[in-house]
């Protein structure tokens, strides 16, 4: 079930509208509807607004006039901040006790948003809010082909719920990106409330203003969130004049479309996408979109001068003076001692020296405070422990960078240096020591448990040295959220080879099988490293990087967790990527090494089928690649899901072996899945079958032996006259691409 939200009917705005409708409105235009002010450039009626997209309809409902922006009731309009507050519709997904199925409700509008509209969904003030005890909702824009985000709300029973808490238990809130002008909401039919309908029959999802929302446990019962709020909640739209990209362009080309008409106004760039808004200059107040809209503010009306002083209003400001016999010093009118010339000159010199001393003193104090804050961050993140261990273990290839070093390496984290963005942070390309390329990752957040153990975890991660794992070179601890430094990997990701911009390279199936085997070896190493296994937590094709020789390197494990050692650490926020998430993890919130095995099984499906893990079209079972594959295996119809060029390259014996391995990895019960080491061993066996088609392998092909931990058998090699030593890799031209997500 999917719903697309349109920002009002008639919000589609072409650039030509600014020129055609931009005349200054007459005095006859209505400037209020009900209790809501409608300031220009908005207007009610013909020729009363800057453009048709700024028209407001004043309609009578329940005996009272109310303003509407398309289908959305307007609550307020702010000229200063460029925002419009409207009432948005809640979408619900409820269990029908009569029919025994999940049914959707809510008001549905068409999909008609355009980039040329002046309105954008506010990324700063809105949150995608999901309510329920078994709710899984997806938000996306551009008809599902653009941004995608996930909202999850779960609980065991009503005792888990807490008033005012919206952190995932019964309620979750997710941020959205900038430049969104519409959105769609999808509820998963795989998650329903049929077993808990007595206390939670419905799930709800809505994009709403975060500041106006306070979660109540009464929403998870028969009252419901929709009934409590009359089916609508406040949402904030960012609006701007969008016929010019920025103030710099608009002010250089002032034509009839330039909206800041008041001579005492300033242009301010939009905080959400291209465009600008107008504000009155400092010391002025009013409407900057009208020729004489900004009027001087009489600051003296609030008596800003010190006691005994006299205020003099000026254009755009004010001045303070003292009565005869006194003079203004700072914020006080003191007796005038200037009659004594020598004393006056001496005092003047002293004041100058004092100002200089105070200025430099404040600078020194601020520097000391800043240094102390950095030292405290360093201590919190375990920097002292890290330094002690580095001294005791000489030769440890790990560097603790200063913030200044990483700022210089990334040109102050310039946007042009961004390699990639993800839920765990942003990765920048950097150069250290003026020659070595690195990837610098600014983490999004670190929780309290990670702060306490960060230094210890860095020691463990820094000592990971495996050819199929991206090397962690160092970190910066003197900032609020630590920064990680990795080796730079050149040739993009496995995702790009299968689905993306490098797909045209036509990589052979044997090469893809080699990359999968190398990735499995890297994950197996993480799971078995030292005494504390490392769980990746976000295994996907976009986190498998390829070096200059197209060898696989598992990345983004710095955002993973060490295997928890107590029950409290098993409870964590749901993380990962849709399509790769372990269904057992979704139910238990317990991340294990078998969660990584499930995600790796999805990667094997991508190699076999060439399909994305999750689609937004089709029926519920057709959207999930895992569901489509398992259904085909159950019907003994593997050939229907294999990509055509794979069937042409390899034998069905090899493809069935790989499919059986993927099926075992995707077992709904984690205990039944193989370990990553067993997966790597099986891929190694299958590679031999792929690399040497003239070799007969007497091996056990039953997939059940993999689950029981038995050996997959030995090899009996029979040569048939073909030359040995052929390369498994096709020649590939290296090309640069972005780093890990």
Per-residue three-class SS string for 536-547: CCCCCHHHEEEC
Give the helix ranges, DSSP H, for 395-446.
403-409
Reduced to 3 states (helix: H, G, I; strand: E, B; else coil), residue 318 is strand
Per-residue pLDDT at 64: 93
Per-residue pLDDT at 401: 85
Give the integer Cα–Cα distance in Å for 559 and 568. Answer: 19
Give the integer Cα–Cα distance in Å for 355 and 94. Answer: 69
CATH superfamily, domain 494-676, is Transferase(Phosphotransferase) domain 1 (1.10.510.10)
Reduced to 3 states (helix: H, G, I; strand: E, B; else coil), residue 6 is strand
676 close to 597: Cβ distance less than 8 angstroms: yes
615 close to 623: Cβ distance less than 8 angstroms: yes
Strand partners, 317: 314
Known binding residue 441? Answer is: yes
DSSP state of 299: G
- Nearest CA-CA partner of 546 in 471, 487, 491: 491
Which CATH number does 383-484 carry?
A: 3.30.200.20
283 close to 317: Cβ distance less than 8 angstroms: yes
Give the integer Cα–Cα distance in Å for 686 and 697. Answer: 10
Q: In the chain, list all ranges with CATH 2.10.25.
A: 300-335
Q: How many separate helices (H) and strands (E) can be counted in the chain?
A: 17, 35
Spatial CB neighbours of 376, under 8 Å, sequence gap ≥ 6:
none
Give the integer Cα–Cα distance in Å for 529 and 517. Answer: 18
Give the integer Cα–Cα distance in Å for 303 and 316. Answer: 16
Q: How many CB atoms lie within 10 A of CB 252?
A: 9
| pLDDT tens-digit readout, 151-177 | 999 998 888 999 999 999 999 999 999
47 close to 21: Cβ distance less than 8 angstroms: yes
Q: Assign a CATH topology to domain 300-335.
A: Laminin (2.10.25)
Which of these is catalytic: 123, 141, 243, 538? 538
Per-residue pLDDT at 31: 94
Per-residue pLDDT at 6: 46
Spatial CB neighbours of 711, under 8 Å, sequence gap ≥ 6:
700, 705
Ranges of residues in the chain with a pLDDT under 70 are 1-23, 107-113, 222-223, 228-229, 254-256, 324-325, 336-344, 366-397, 422-424, 445-457, 501-505, 530-531, 557-576, 618, 620-621, 691-741
91 close to 102: Cβ distance less than 8 angstroms: no
Q: How far is CA 158 from CA 12, 133, 134, 218, 226, in A?
A: 44, 9, 12, 10, 18
- Nearest CA-CA partner of 688 in 650, 644, 734: 650
Residue 375 half-sphere exposure, CB side, CA atoms within 13 Å? 6
CA-based torsion, 668, 674, 680, 682: positive or negative? negative
Give the integer Cα–Cα distance in Å for 273 and 517. Answer: 43
Q: What ranges make up the beta strands (E) of 48-179?
A: 57-61, 64-69, 72-78, 83-89, 91-96, 101-105, 119-121, 126-131, 134-140, 148-154, 171-174
Q: In the chain, list all ranges with CATH 3.30.200.20.
A: 383-484
Catalytic residue check, 157: no
Pairing state between β 534-535 and 436-443: unpaired
Spatial CB neighbours of 46, under 8 Å, sequence gap ≥ 6:
none
Residue 495 half-sphere exposure, CB side, CA atoms within 13 Å? 18
DSSP state of 700: -
């Amino acid at each position: 079930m999917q719903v697309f939200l349109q920002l009002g009917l008639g919000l589609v705005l072409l650039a030509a509208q600014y020129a055609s409708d931009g005349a200054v409105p007459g005095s006859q235009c209505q400037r209020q509807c009900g209790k809501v002010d409608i300031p220009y450039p908005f207007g009610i009626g013909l020729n009363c607004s800057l453009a048709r997209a700024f028209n407001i309809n004043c309609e009578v409902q329940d005996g009272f006039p109310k303003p509407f922006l398309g289908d959305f009731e307007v609550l307020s309009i702010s000229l200063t901040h460029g925002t419009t507050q409207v009432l948005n519709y809640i979408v619900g997904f409820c269990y029908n006790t009569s029919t025994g199925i999940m049914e959707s409700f809510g008001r549905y509008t068409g999909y008609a948003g355009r980039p040329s509209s002046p309105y954008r969904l506010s990324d700063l003030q809105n949150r995608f809010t999901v309510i329920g005890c078994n709710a899984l909702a997806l938000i996306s824009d551009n008809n599902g082909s653009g941004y995608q985000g996930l909202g999850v709300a779960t609980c065991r029973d009503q005792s888990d719920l807490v008033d005012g808490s919206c952190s995932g238990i019964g309620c979750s809130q997710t941020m959205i990106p900038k430049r969104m002008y519409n959105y769609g909401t999808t509820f998963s039919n795989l998650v329903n409330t049929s077993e808990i309908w007595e206390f939670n029959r419905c799930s709800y999802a809505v994009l709403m203003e975060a500041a106006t929302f306070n979660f109540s446990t009464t929403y998870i019962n028969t009252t419901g969130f929709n009934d409590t709020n009359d089916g609508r909640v406040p949402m904030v739209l960012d609006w701007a004049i969008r016929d010019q990209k920025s103030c710099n362009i608009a002010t250089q080309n002032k034509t009839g479309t330039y909206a800041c008409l008041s001579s005492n106004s300033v242009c301010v760039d939009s905080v959400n996408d291209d465009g600008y808004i107008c504000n009155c200059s400092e010391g002025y107040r009013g409407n900057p979109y009208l020729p004489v809209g900004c009027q001087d503010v009489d600051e003296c009306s609030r008596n800003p001068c010190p006691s005994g002083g006299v205020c003099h209003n000026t254009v755009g400001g004010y001045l303070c003076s003292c009565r005869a016999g006194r003079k203004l010093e700072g914020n006080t009118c003191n007796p005038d001692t200037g009659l004594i010339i020598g004393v006056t000159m001496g005092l003047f010199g002293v004041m100058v020296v004092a100002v200089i001393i105070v200025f430099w003193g404040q600078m020194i104090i601020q520097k000391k405070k800043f240094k102390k804050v950095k030292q405290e961050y360093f201590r919190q993140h375990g920097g002292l422990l890290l330094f002690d261990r580095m001294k005791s273990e000489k030769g440890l290839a790990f560097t603790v960078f200063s913030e200044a070093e990483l700022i210089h390496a990334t040109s102050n984290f310039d946007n042009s240096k961004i390699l990639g963005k993800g839920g765990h942070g942003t990765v920048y390309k950097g150069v250290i020591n003026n020659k070595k390329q690195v990837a610098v990752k600014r983490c999004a957040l670190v929780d309290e448990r990670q702060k306490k153990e960060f230094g210890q975890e860095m020691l463990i991660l820094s000592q990971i040295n495996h050819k199929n794992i991206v090397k962690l070179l160092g970190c910066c601890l003197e900032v609020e959220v630590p920064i990680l430094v990795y080796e730079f990997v050149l040739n993009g990701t496995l995702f790009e080879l299968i689905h993306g911009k490098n797909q045209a390279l036509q990589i052979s199936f044997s090469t893809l099988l080699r990359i999968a085997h190398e990735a499995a070896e890297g994950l197996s190493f993480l799971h078995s490293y030292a005494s504390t296994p490392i769980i990746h937590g976000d295994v996907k094709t976009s986190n498998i990087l390829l070096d200059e020789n197209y060898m696989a390197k598992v990345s983004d494990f710095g955002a993973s967790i060490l295997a928890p050692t107590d029950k409290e650490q098993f409870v964590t926020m749901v993380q990962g990527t849709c399509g790769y998430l372990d269904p057992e993890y979704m139910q238990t919130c317990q991340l294990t090494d078998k969660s990584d095995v499930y995600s790796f099984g999805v990667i094997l499906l991508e190699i076999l089928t060439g399909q994305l893990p999750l689609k937004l079209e089709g029926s519920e079972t057709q959207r999930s690649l895992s569901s489509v594959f398992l259904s085909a295996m159950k019907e003994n119809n593997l050939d229907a899901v294999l990509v055509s060029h794979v069937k042409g390259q390899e034998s069905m014996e090899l493809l069935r072996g790989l499919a059986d391995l993927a099926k075992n990895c995707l077992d709904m019960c984690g205990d039944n899945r193989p370990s990553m080491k067993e997966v790597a061993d099986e891929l190694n066996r299958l590679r031999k079958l792929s690399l040497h088609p003239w070799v007969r392998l007497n091996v056990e092909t039953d997939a059940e032996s993999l689950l029981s931990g038995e050996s997959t058998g030995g090899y009996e090699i029979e040569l048939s006259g073909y030359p040995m030593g052929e390369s498994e890799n096709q020649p590939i031209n290296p090309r640069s691409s972005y780093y890990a997500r």
